């Protein structure tokens, strides 16, 4: 792994300990393939499901092959050097192929979704190590991962939120009081409600509850993922997404929005609808009036700023109708490291806006190098 000083060394970190391990591997495979080999040298760093860091085989096929999801399996064990002077990775098992020397890294692209990746934890590690990285910092990552605090910060910025209740220590609460919510709260929320783990993704642990009799089981299921559980009133409306990318000046730019149209009989965008079935149609761009498009883009940029995001984000909305007949736009959530393959919504929205996949990856890496990590600034 001799350094080529003329090329920028990008460590692409993928896999990880969250339920979205395989999705991350697929995203990383696409990112690595899109990095121009003339300008970038890729250091593929896999995190196994048990948390071990390994130098991955650069030729491993990180894609869904014959319906099988990719996974980080083995490789030379490495560790991030906490001392900023180290600037990169230490090889833990020196061998003939990989010497004991540090693998220097110029910039890190953490293509990780969910816990220990999109939630501020790896961002903190990279800050400590003094390495610049793609995407949001510690605070924005943690705040966007936590649906309670996302709502608080968006509301403080004047971006409307649906009715919701936060249950703390929900697992304990289920056994203490199977009713969980008083009548007034139930009245206010109405049915259906969405019961969700506060910090999760890919619809894992979420139940759409149509009868209060299902409620304790739904809370228990969410609490198995995260002890903090949100109970949200169902927000009627179309599901709209919008990509945000930092411009050369660091200011957020919004893509053309897209719409996820669930097929008849599909009530909501659950895990199966997202990854397994042909459950949805995607309109990219969404069929919206120019005014609606502008309103979505403006709200997406404001959400990015409200959460102090950096680099990129995907902002997800419900577009419904207010009692007076006007549009009602509610932000559902903000993803700081959205699914990142050429067929992911984020990439397709930017392609429709005129930024192709290789440009997207290049803009993010260049932006991270220009901005540097907080520690390096």
Ligand X SMILES: Nc1ncnc2c1ncn2[C@@H]1O[C@H](COP(=O)(O)OP(=O)(O)O)[C@@H](O)[C@H]1O
Show the site string, 228-247: x = touches ligand X by CB under 6 A, - = not. ----x-xx---x--------
Distances (CA, A) of 80 to 45, 89, 91, 315: 10, 5, 9, 31
Q: Smallest distance, Å, CB 279 to ligand X?
A: 11
**Cβ contacts of 303 within 8 Å, gap of 6 or more:** 154, 157, 159, 244, 313, 315, 331, 334
| E-strand stretches of 49-192 | 53-55, 76-80, 88-91, 103-104, 107-110, 164-167
Nearest residue to 243 via CA among 153, 161, 159, 303 = 303
Q: How far is the CB of 329 from ligand X (least distance, A)?
A: 13
- Which one among 40, 194, 304, 350 touches ligand X, defined by CB under 6 A? 194
Which listed range, 200-208, 282-290, 301-309, 341-349, lies at the site for ligand X (CB under 6 A)?
Answer: 200-208
DSSP line for 131-168: --BSS--HHHHHHHH-HHHHHHHHHHTT-----EEEET
- Does 268 bind ligand X (CB under 6 A)? Our answer is yes
Which residue of 16, 46, 110, 162 would you call a contact of ligand X, by CB under 6 A? 162
Cβ neighbours for 74, distance < 8 A, ≥ 6 positions apart:
54
Nearer Cβ to ligand X, position 119 or 232? Answer: 232
Of 9, 196, 302, 314, which lies in the binding site for ligand X, with binding defined by CB under 6 A? 196
Does residue 292 interact with ligand X by CB under 6 A?
no
| CB of 18 vs ligand X, minimal distance in Å | 11
Question: Any contact of residue 201 with ligand X (CB under 6 A)?
Answer: yes
Please list every residue from 84 through 113 that binds ligand X, using CB under 6 A.
none
- 10 Å Cβ neighbour count for 206? 22
Number of residues near ligand X (by CB under 6 A): 17
Give the pair of three-digit tokens for residue 331: 């932000």
Q: Does 206 bind ligand X (CB under 6 A)?
A: yes
- Minimum CB separation of residue 201 from ligand X in Å reads 4
How is residue 102 written in tokens? 């540090």
Name the residues that contact ligand X, by CB under 6 A: 162, 194, 196, 200-203, 206, 232, 234-235, 239, 268-269, 316, 332-333
């Amino acid at each position: 792994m001799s350094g080529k000083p003329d090329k920028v060394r990008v460590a692409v970190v993928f896999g990880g300990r969250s339920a979205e391990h395989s999705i991350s591997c697929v995203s990383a495979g696409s990112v690595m393939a899109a990095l121009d080999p003339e300008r970038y040298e890729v250091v593929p760093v896999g995190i196994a499901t048990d948390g071990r860091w390994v130098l991955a085989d650069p030729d491993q096929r990180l894609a869904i092959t014959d319906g099988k999801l990719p996974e980080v399996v083995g490789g030379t064990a490495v560790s991030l050097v906490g001392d900023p002077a180290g600037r990169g990775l230490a090889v833990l098992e020196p061998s003939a192929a990989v010497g004991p020397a540090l693998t220097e890294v110029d910039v890190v692209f953490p293509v990780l979704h969910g816990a220990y990746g999109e939630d501020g934890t790896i961002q903190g590690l990279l800050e400590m190590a003094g390495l610049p990285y793609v995407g949001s910092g510690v605070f924005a990552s943690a705040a966007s991962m936590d649906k309670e605090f996302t709502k608080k910060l968006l509301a403080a910025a004047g971006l409307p939120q649906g009715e919701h209740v936060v249950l703390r220590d929900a697992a304990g609460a289920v056994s203490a009081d199977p009713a969980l919510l008083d009548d007034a709260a139930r009245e206010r929320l109405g049915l259906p409600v969405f019961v969700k783990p506060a910090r999760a993704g890919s619809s894992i642990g979420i139940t759409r509850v149509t009868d209060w009799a299902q409620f304790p089981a739904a809370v228990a299921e969410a609490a198995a993922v995260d002890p903090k559980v949100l109970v949200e009133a169902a927000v009627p409306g179309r599901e709209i997404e919008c990509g945000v990318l930092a411009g050369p000046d660091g200011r957020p730019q919004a893509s053309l929005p897209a719409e996820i149209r669930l097929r008849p009989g599909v009530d909501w965008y659950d895990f199966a609808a997202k990854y397994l079935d042909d459950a949805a149609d995607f309109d990219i761009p969404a069929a919206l009036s120019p005014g609606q498009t502008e309103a979505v883009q403006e709200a997406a940029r404001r959400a990015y700023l409200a959460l102090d995001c950096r680099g990129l984000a995907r902002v997800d909305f419900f577009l419904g109708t207010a009692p007076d007949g006007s549009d009602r736009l509610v932000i559902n959530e903000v993803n700081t490291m959205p699914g990142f393959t050429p067929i992911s919504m984020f990439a397709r929205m930017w392609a429709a806006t005129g930024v192709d996949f290789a440009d997207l990856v290049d803009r993010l890496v260049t932006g991270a190098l220009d901005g540097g990590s907080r520690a390096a600034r």
